[in-house]
């Protein structure tokens, strides 16, 4: 069964002024759509056609480069849209907040280290907060790889992921990736991140 692109869980202008409307339209409607279309093309008629996205991701490196890149693109973007929410701008609470303090010292230190992980990713990729061997860890991946893949350097269960490809921020922030990564905290869906943490 072919994969399809789900609508955004909010309107294209919902994350203004932190993420602009045109970026969201192109990012979801063109980039994410292309990952879905190219994943379907790569799978058509192959032995992997009936697999779930999670199964494809787990073996992405072993299957093929098109499945790794486009399956990763589909999984990562779906996860990213669900990680964001307009008008939140809050901080984590409860067990997640305690685990962040324990792992990184404080929420502010976590934000600094997470942003450094994103800025430090050369070229295109993602920065992640993952549960790795029972602990919260910041990691990053190149291109459309993610921590669930067989090829990941640091494997774990993602609880937050931020896209640091230029297409995610260039229209508004141009070359200033650190500014984008500073603004993103205004639109993180901490309830969603906390739910993933408790399930991990
Ligand atoms: Mn992207």
Over residues 126-156, the pLDDT tens digits come to 999 999 999 999 999 999 999 999 999 999 9
Mean local confidence (pLDDT), 153-161: 98
Banded model confidence at residue 87, pLDDT cuts 50, 70, 90: confident
Query: Ligand 1: distance of its center to the CA of 164 in Å?
Result: 7
Can you point out the beta strands (E) in 16-79? none
> How big is the CA angle at 196 (ends 193 and 198), to the nearest 5 degrees?
110
pLDDT at 88: 66
Residue 89 pLDDT > 80? no
> How big is the CA angle at 108 (ends 107 and 109), to the nearest 5 degrees?
90
Query: Ligand 1: distance of its center to the CA of 98 in Å?
Result: 30
* Helical packing angle, 33-43 and 65-83, nearest 10°: 150
* Helical packing angle, 190-199 and 94-104, nearest 10°: 80
pLDDT at 1: 66
Banded model confidence at residue 119, pLDDT cuts 50, 70, 90: very high
Beta-bridge mates of residue 129: 138, 160
| Separation of alpha carbons 147 and 29, rounded Å | 25
Beta-bridge mates of residue 126: 141, 163
Three-class SS state of 48 = coil
Helix (H), strand (E), coil (C) string for 170-198: HHHHCCCHHHHHHHHHHHECHHHHHHHHH
Beta-bridge mates of residue 162: 127
Query: Ligand 1: distance of its center to the CA of 36 in Å?
Result: 12
* Residue 64 backbone phi and psi in degrees, to 5: -175, 160
Match 């901080």 to its residue by tokens.
Answer: 91
pLDDT tens digits, 73-83:
999 999 999 99
Query: Ligand 1: distance of its center to the CA of 138 in Å?
Result: 19
Q: Which is more confidently placed, 89 or 149?
A: 149
Query: Ligand 1: distance of its center to the CA of 168 in Å?
Result: 5
Query: Ligand 1: distance of its center to the CA of 199 in Å?
Result: 25
Percent above pLDDT 90 for the chain: 96
Query: Ligand 1: distance of its center to the CA of 75 in Å?
Result: 11
What is the pTM for the complete model shown? 0.97
| Separation of alpha carbons 32 and 42, rounded Å | 15
Query: Ligand 1: distance of its center to the CA of 194 in Å?
Result: 23
Query: Ligand 1: distance of its center to the CA of 115 in Å?
Result: 17
pLDDT at 86: 87
CA-based R_g, the chain, Å? 16
Query: Ligand 1: distance of its center to the CA of 120 in Å?
Result: 17
- What b-and-e string marks burial along 149-187, b requiring 16 or more CB atoms within 10 Å of the CB? beebeeebebbbbbbbbeebbebbbeeebeebbebbbbb
């Amino acid at each position: 069964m072919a994969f399809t692109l789900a609508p955004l869980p909010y309107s294209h202008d919902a994350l203004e002024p932190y993420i602009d409307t045109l970026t969201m339209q192109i990012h979801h409607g063109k980039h994410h759509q292309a990952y879905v279309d190219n994943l379907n093309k790569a799978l058509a008629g192959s032995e992997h056609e009936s697999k779930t996205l999670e199964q494809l991701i787990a073996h992405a490196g072993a299957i093929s480069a098109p499945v790794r890149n486009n399956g990763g693109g589909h999984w990562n973007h779906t996860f990213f849209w669900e990680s964001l929410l307009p008008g939140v701008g809050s901080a984590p609470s409860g067990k997640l907040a305690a685990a962040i303090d324990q792992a990184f010292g404080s929420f502010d230190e976590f934000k600094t280290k997470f942003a450094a992980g994103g800025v430090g990713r050369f070229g295109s990729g993602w920065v992640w907060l993952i549960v790795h061997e029972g602990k919260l860890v910041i990691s990053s991946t190149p291109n459309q790889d993610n921590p669930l893949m067989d090829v990941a350097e640091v494997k774990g269960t993602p609880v937050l992921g931020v896209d640091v490809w230029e297409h995610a921020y260039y229209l508004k922030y141009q070359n200033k990736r650190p500014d984008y990564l500073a603004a993103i905290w205004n639109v993180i869906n901490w309830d969603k991140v906390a739910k993933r943490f408790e399930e991990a």
